[in-house]
Amino acid sequence: MSRLHHTGHEARLFSAFDNAGLVAQVPTVFVDCGPDANAHPVLPLRGFLKCLEASNKLNLVLTASPATYAEFWDKYRPHRPKHPCFTLRTDQELAACVPILLHADEGQTLKKKQLMILQFQPLFGAGSSRASGLNYTGSSLTSRFLYSVMAARVYSKSKSETLLNLTEHFANELASLCADGIVLGGRCYWLIPIGMKGDWPALCKLGQLTRHFLRNKSGEGKMVGICHMCKAGQRDQAWHITDEQHMDTLHQDAGVPWTTPSPFTRIIPQDPDKKPEFYRVDLFHTLHKGVFGDVAANAVVNVMDFDLMGEGSVPVKLGVIFEDLQKYCYDQSLQLHMSWFKGADTTSLCLYLESKYLTLIADNPEHEHKGYFCNILETLKAANVPGFDVF
């Protein structure tokens, strides 16, 4: 693989896998996505699931027991009471309803060209590095299943219809699995998409969202709002006030965040009152590269401001903290890329700072700003709650 990469012959990798008998026999189907992509390849969901069945690998999709599925729907019901699965499926059938998430990512090809990736992921899995039940452990090839990809040049600018046509094919297949189910291993299962996750730009494009993070404009013109789930950022609706009463107001009569619903919201069965929520918050950009990054940076600045880890110039103090951080990460087997790759360093930095603040507070019991330090520690603890560690 390395030689193929260095010699620029990555394309030969697939035939090498094929020759070694390592290619799954998933049929490829070509669908019409419009004039610029009238025979676009997809991996049809039913074909994919049948392939898993034939290869004795259904455990990759059917990742939990019937009892767990039944318990999940029981807990989910109060959140989406009007979801059609509660009227269409009996309690016994709900134990065979597999909750899945759709995943979209606008990534880059090896040649640094933009590419939209569409896939799905069973909700349950072998856990994450710090919590059970989630589906992040192991190779992503065994937990996220590709439907199709599309190069940005095919759908960029005035050609967005092409991508929406592809999502329509995806949505139709999902709706069919949701309504009609599929017999696998002698039993009927229904795959129920409960949301779409991905980075904000991909979600905005695929959800045809009109309210999103790029709309943080004040003053002139219409203040459309920055959040697809509430009125935050609209005129007289401050997004930075987070007390409960204000948040409640923001959610009243927020309306839908689109002029035309996307194929996902239009075609996939879901609670009609909760359609905007189908698009899940992009935790990676909002937390790891956003709020938690700011929390970590402020916690570091505070250590320097109060000379909690020694005195000296800013570079000297930063050097001391960095050396300490490196040692902590080494001892705890945590990754530290220092390139902010995938925001993973935020996780390591917040864990380090929580441990550091515990020590600093214990070492400075009479400090005049101890209350402030304790608040920072509580914030770091909240950021380190297992479950946020999802990337």
Interface residues toward Zn ion, by CB under 5 A: 227, 229-230, 232
Least distance CB 167 / Zn ion (angstroms): 24
Least distance CB 229 / Zn ion (angstroms): 4
Q: Which is nearer to Zn ion, 210 or 302 (CB)?
A: 210
Q: Which is nearer to Zn ion, 229 or 291 (CB)?
A: 229
Q: Which is nearer to Zn ion, 163 or 230 (CB)?
A: 230
Least distance CB 211 / Zn ion (angstroms): 9
Q: Which is nearer to Zn ion, 181 or 257 (CB)?
A: 257
Helix (H) or strand (E) holding 66: helix 66-76
Least distance CB 279 / Zn ion (angstroms): 12
Question: At a CB cut-off of 8 Å and minimum separation 6, what does 344 contact?
Answer: 288, 335, 337, 391
Least distance CB 217 / Zn ion (angstroms): 16
Q: Which is nearer to Zn ion, 211 or 356 (CB)?
A: 211
> What CA–CA distance (Å, rounded) separates 328 from 339?
18
Q: In what order do the strands lie in the sheet with 114-122?
A: 145-151, 114-122, 97-108, 187-198, 182-184
Q: Coil, strand or helix: which one is 170? A: helix
> What CA–CA distance (Å, rounded) separates 49 from 55?
10
The residue type found at 363 is D
Q: Which is nearer to Zn ion, 238 or 297 (CB)?
A: 238
Place of tokens 């795959």: 191
With vertex at residue 281, the alpha carbon angle to CA 279 and CA 284, rounded to the nearest 5 degrees, is: 130
The residue type found at 323 is E
295, 380 in Cβ contact below 8 A?
yes
Least distance CB 235 / Zn ion (angstroms): 15
Point out the residue whose Cβ comes nearest to Zn ion: 227
